[in-house]
Amino acid sequence: MSDRLRVPKLTGADVELGNFIEGDPRAASTAPVAARLVIAAIRARLGLAPPAGTTLDGGKNPHDHDRVFLGTLNSGCYYIDADHAEGCLPETLSAWDHVAWWQAMLRIAQRARDDVNAMLPTGQVLQLLADNSDGVVSYGAHLNVLVSRPTWEDIAHRKAHHAAFLAAFQVSSIVITGAGKVGADNSAAAVHFQLAQRADWFESMTGPQTTYHRPLVNTRDEPLCGRGTRATPARARLHCIFFDTTLSQVATLLRVGMMQLVLAMMEGGHIDVALTLDDPLGAVRAWSHDVTLTATARGMDGQELTALEMQRRFWEMAQRFVASGEAAEIVPRAEELVALWDETLCLLERRDWAALARRLDWVLKLGCIERALASDPSLAWDSPEVRLLAHQYASLDVERGLYWHFARAGLLDEVATEEQVRHAVSHPPTDTRAHLRGQLQRRFGHAVERVDWDHIVVRLSDRDGTTSSWRVDLPDPLDNGCAALARSAAPHGDIASLLQELGAVREAPAVAVKWRVAPGDVARIVAAVAGEIDHGDY
């Protein structure tokens, strides 16, 4: 057993949805209006007014505005990112819970869609798609995983082979995690159909960026889990931008669970440099563009491997890791995960497409399109109807969406029951920070000024009739707050005792600072920036 710092592989996700208004002739792109309508409908269901200072033109940050935390529901949130409604899951510990709360977040979006469509003019319909590309731009389905700070530093900065190992796992995983796509994107070679929607958009190995020159391994350092103290070792949040948005419950479960296992192995010091690729960026396109699963890529050991063969080697490592007991208390239900991973790989090795269609999005989508092509000789891969069929698979319209049709017919393997999904719509997970954040929002209601993943600010009346803002930091995503809530007898106890238990700090009033710059100083400032004078003068 390794003595390295290891932490439970808690996960979260932030997933952009495709959104547009069908039948609206007023604008070339209806995405901005569509996204705002979705958020407005969610707010209306929660009884919340629009955020202060915002208008229908959106907020100040085009990548993060109109954010609404679902404290009275499941402690997730929705906001607008670059004209897309984006749903963020509450923190979960098990991959099974991740699936349930992902399905719940989709259901919240579906209800908002229905509310909007009830008010739109006749002939106009708000459409939401769980996909990653509209043929022009790509938008993300980001998976966040809790890791130790040393593990994150090794991946992001210190050890190139750690990033290469993780990249090889992600790239080869598309045989399971791909959502399937008609055609190519981003000037990639033409192809009828490919496994992954994001594959053509990756252009670098590592980096913090998410919307351009996208890296296979993202190194954005936004922990949202504290920086650590002597008593509490530092943790980090690995922000993975690689994966597709999956609707299949089994594909989603494996996407999350396999990532948990691989990161847990890396955290324990289990890395095989032979399981790295000579050209991972070339490999992801080659493997994605080959639905026969026979394309190969060269490993750093010189051996040519298919994506399926590389996945089998990662599974063998994971199986040994779990059998050793090292995954205990780090990855929930690890034995079940490796068993399901193995079973799915076996189905892929046998090319059992009928069984795979029940659990993998790309297989089911490809089968739908191939049946349509076979039934109508006038159709071809470049027919608009074929692309429409692919989009229809991802539609959140429960009546027209192909995925929901197969789900209702009992043709898909599911891991979250209807009862679990309904529960996840209106309740946060009970074993993570999401529980405490949700309880605080319910407890303080309209007194809540600001909410973020790792803190909440409430404004309360003082005894002298004035009001003060109190900040409660929530640095530990593994702390569900039950102990503090119980000690303060929340939610019906004294507010002061609750704030004391949670270590709330009174925020200082904001002070406006006015800068006065003399005309002559402007030239000096510009010169300093240009490096033309000695900075020591300042």
User: Can you name the residues that pair with 144 across neighbouring β-strands?
Assistant: 12, 239
For 447, how many CA atoms within 13 A lie in the half-sphere containing its CB? Answer: 16
Mean pLDDT value across residues 372-387: 97
pLDDT over 90 for what percent of the chain? Answer: 80
Q: Are residues 464 and 354 in the same domain?
A: no
Classify residue 116: in a domain, yes or no: yes
Residue 536 Cα distances to 467, 515, 522, 531, angstroms: 44, 21, 17, 11
Rounded to whole angstroms, how far apart are CA atoms 283 and 308? 12
CATH of the domain at 463: 3.30.310
pLDDT over 70 for what percent of the chain? Answer: 89
Q: Are residues 144 and 236 in the same domain?
A: yes
Mean pLDDT value across residues 518-536: 42
Classify residue 524: in a domain, yes or no: no
pLDDT at site 492? 52
Nearest Cα residue to 197 out of 244, 135, 142, 137: 244
Q: Are residues 469 and 339 in the same domain?
A: no
Contact 335, 322 (CB under 8 A): yes
Rounded to whole angstroms, how far apart are CA atoms 462 and 454? 25
**What is the token pair recorded at 480?**
């569900």
First CA to last CA across the chain, in angstroms? 55
Nearest Cα residue to 275 out of 171, 168, 176: 168
Hunting for tokens 């731009």 — which residue is that?
Answer: 137
Q: Are residues 452 and 494 in the same domain?
A: yes
**Cβ-Cβ contacts under 8 Å for 370 (sequence gap 6 or more):** none
Nearest Cα residue to 434 out of 481, 472, 473, 484: 481
- The b/e string for 451-465 (b: 16+ C-beta within 10 A; e otherwise) is bebbebbbebeeeee
pLDDT at site 534? 37
pLDDT at site 446? 85
Classify residue 4: in a domain, yes or no: no
What band does 229 get if pLDDT is binned at 50, 70 and 90? low
Q: Dihedral sign, CA of 377, 383, 386, 388?
A: negative
Mean pLDDT value across residues 512-537: 43
Classify residue 372: in a domain, yes or no: yes
Rounded to whole angstroms, how far apart are CA atoms 145 and 226? 14
Nearest Cα residue to 112 out of 79, 71, 65: 79
Q: Are residues 444 and 372 in the same domain?
A: no
Classify residue 535: in a domain, yes or no: no
Q: Of the given ranges (223-227, 368-372, 525-529), which has the lowest mean pLDDT?
A: 525-529
What DSSP string describes 313-351? Answer: HHHHHHHHHHHTTTTTTTSTTHHHHHHHHHHHHHHHHHT
Hunting for tokens 């459409």 — which residue is that?
Answer: 127
**Cβ-Cβ contacts under 8 Å for 261 (sequence gap 6 or more):** 318, 321, 322, 327, 331, 334, 337, 338
Mind listing the pLDDT tens digit for each residue in 349-362?
Answer: 999 999 999 999 99
Is a pLDDT exceeding 70 seen at residue 52?
A: no
Is a pLDDT exceeding 80 seen at residue 251?
A: yes
Mind listing the pLDDT tens digit for each residue in 262-301?
Answer: 999 999 999 999 999 999 999 999 999 999 999 999 999 9
Classify residue 332: in a domain, yes or no: yes
User: Can you name the residues that pair with 87 across neighbouring β-strands?
Assistant: 15, 78
Label residue 82 left, alpha or beta by phi (over 0 means left) and psi (-120 to 50 means alpha). left
Q: Are residues 95 and 236 in the same domain?
A: yes
Q: Residue 287 is part of which domain span?
A: 11-420
Which residues are designated catalytic?
81
| pTM, full prediction | 0.91
Is a pLDDT exceeding 70 seen at residue 103?
A: yes
Q: Report which of residues 74 and 47 the model is more confident about.
A: 74
Q: Which of 394, 420, 446 finishes a domain?
A: 420
Rounded to whole angstroms, how far apart are CA atoms 308 and 312? 6
Rounded to whole angstroms, how far apart are CA atoms 332 and 319? 14
**What is the token pair recorded at 112?**
């908002």
Rounded to whole angstroms, how far apart are CA atoms 123 and 23? 6
Q: Are residues 274 and 156 in the same domain?
A: yes
> How much is the mean pLDDT over the chain?
91
pLDDT at site 405? 98
Classify residue 301: in a domain, yes or no: yes
Mean pLDDT value across residues 153-174: 98
**What is the token pair recorded at 158?**
């210190």
Is a pLDDT exceeding 70 seen at residue 415?
A: yes
Q: Are residues 449 and 373 in the same domain?
A: no
CATH of the domain at 342: 3.30.590
Q: Are residues 401 and 440 in the same domain?
A: no
Q: Is 215 helix (H, G, I), strand (E, B) or coil?
A: strand
Q: Which of 395, 420, 445 finishes a domain?
A: 420
Mean pLDDT value across residues 172-196: 97
Q: Which of 387, 420, 453 finishes a domain?
A: 420
Q: Of the given ranges (44-48, 230-234, 397-401), which has the lowest mean pLDDT?
A: 230-234
Classify residue 532: in a domain, yes or no: no
Nearest Cα residue to 475 out of 489, 456, 454, 490: 454
Hunting for tokens 């569900």 — which residue is that?
Answer: 480
Count the domains in the chain: 2
pLDDT at site 535? 35
Residue 510 Cα distances to 129, 142, 447, 469, 507, angstroms: 41, 34, 18, 11, 9
Q: Report which of residues 511 and 530 the model is more confident about.
A: 511
Q: Are residues 110 and 39 in the same domain?
A: yes
Rounded to whole angstroms, how far apart are CA atoms 499 and 343? 49
Q: Are residues 394 and 456 in the same domain?
A: no
Mind listing the pLDDT tens digit for each residue in 321-357?
Answer: 999 999 999 999 999 999 999 999 999 999 999 999 9
Is a pLDDT exceeding 60 seen at residue 138?
A: yes
Q: Are residues 22 and 163 in the same domain?
A: yes
Contact 87, 108 (CB under 8 A): yes
Q: Is 443 helix (H, G, I), strand (E, B) or coil?
A: helix
pLDDT at site 523? 47
Q: Is 425 helix (H, G, I), strand (E, B) or coil?
A: helix
Helices (H), 235-279: 249-267
Rounded to whole angstroms, how far apart are CA atoms 215 and 192? 25
Fill in the amino acid letter for 251.
Answer: A
Is a pLDDT exceeding 90 seen at residue 1?
A: no
What band does 486 get if pLDDT is binned at 50, 70 and 90? confident
Mind listing the pLDDT tens digit for each residue in 433-461?
Answer: 999 999 999 989 889 999 999 999 999 88
**What is the token pair recorded at 396?**
């959140």
Cα 234–chain centre separation: 22
**What is the token pair recorded at 284?**
């992801």
Is a pLDDT exceeding 80 seen at residue 488?
A: no
pLDDT at site 50? 66
